[in-house]
Amino acid sequence: MSLETLKSSIVEAIAGSTTIKVWANINYGKDHHVFDGIDSRNTPGEDSCPYVALLGYGESVSQRRANREYWFGWAGFVYDDSLSTTVYSNLIRNAGVVNVEALRKHVENTIKGCLTNEELEVDVDVDVNDDYPFHRFEMITTIVAPVTIGSDPLS
Amino acid sequence: MTTFKDQMATDMSVFLNDDEFAETVTYNGAEITAMVEVVVIDRVENDGTIAELTVKATDVAKPTYRDTIVIASGLLAGTWKVYRDRTRQMLVRGDDNVWVVPIINDERPFVRSEGPLI
């Protein structure tokens, strides 16, 4: 599968995900957005939240290897300055911290759902402080796809 | 005898007059008269449009981070939040008569153009 084909199928799956739409409407009363690349000097703001942005992607292919690797760098944001104390009265949680990880997990599951016999590797960083009231996740997904015996991965 | 301090208080109604420099805004749901001045428009970090709101201390007892201000019309129309940024000295300041309050709207998150650093 070409890098562009895989990327398109993933971003379209995230945009069309009913699970994420339902989650976004329950938590923020509106649909999520997906950006296939963004202008880092004019990033989408509160009106676009919750949103997921594909920040970069690439692949590694070799005729000496039995698999090819694709990687995709993601960021996701919720805009949320509410607090919750739903578990213990002395545990004060920023709702956005909880919700941005929920969004990330939905994105991860959606990507997983796009794969058949490929393997998925996920590296995650959830940022709880820097951009308040924006809460951010960053995630790199690496997809390892087997190369069919006898085929040329560079063709 | 009228003191300078008394005169300053009296002058508030001249400066904070919506026929002159000021306008009517909604501060945490209450209509007040305030002056608004844009000071920073920045898209480098967690920023949007940053302005300063001057309000009478009698109208707003204690401006608090994330208080909500609604400006109904004009170039600065929109919903604003009380803001602070110590690195820029953007902090609430004031005296007996007025508060000068940094406010922000159209907030945007910072995104590294090179992508995630994990």
- Position A76 scores a pLDDT of 96
- ipTM of the modeled complex: 0.73
The more confidently predicted of residues A75 and A42 is A75
Q: What is the pLDDT of residues A83-134, one digit of tens each?
A: 876 778 888 888 899 999 999 999 999 999 999 999 999 999 887 667 888 9
The dihedrals phi and psi of B44, each to the nearest 5 degrees, come to: -85, -45
Q: Which positions in chain A have a beta carbon within 8 angstroms of at least one beta carbon in chain B?
A: 38, 40-46, 53, 55-56, 73-75, 77, 79, 81, 123-125, 130-134, 136, 138-140
Instruction: Tell me the C-alpha distance between B28 and B116, whole Å.
Output: 37
Nearest-CB residue to B113 (from A40, A74, A138): A40
Predicted local distance difference test score (pLDDT) of residue A26: 97
Chain B nearest CA to A54, separation (Å): 8
Mean pLDDT of A42-54: 94
Residue B7 structure tokens: 């005169």
Per-residue confidence (pLDDT) for residue B73, from 0 to 100: 86
Taking residues A16-30, what's their average pLDDT? 98
Q: How far is A30 from chain B (nearest CA, A)?
A: 18
pLDDT at B31 (0 to 100): 95
| Residues 69-108 in B contacting A (C-alpha not used; CB under 8 Å) | 106-108
Q: B47 near B103, Cβ under 8 Å?
A: no
Residue partners of A116: CB distance under 8 A and separation at least 6: none
Interface contact flag, A73 B115, Cβ < 8 Å: yes
Q: What is the mean pLDDT of chain A?
A: 92
The list of chain B residues with pLDDT below 70 reads 40-47, 88-89, 118
Q: Per residue in B1-30, pLDDT tens?
A: 788 878 877 777 777 777 777 889 999 999
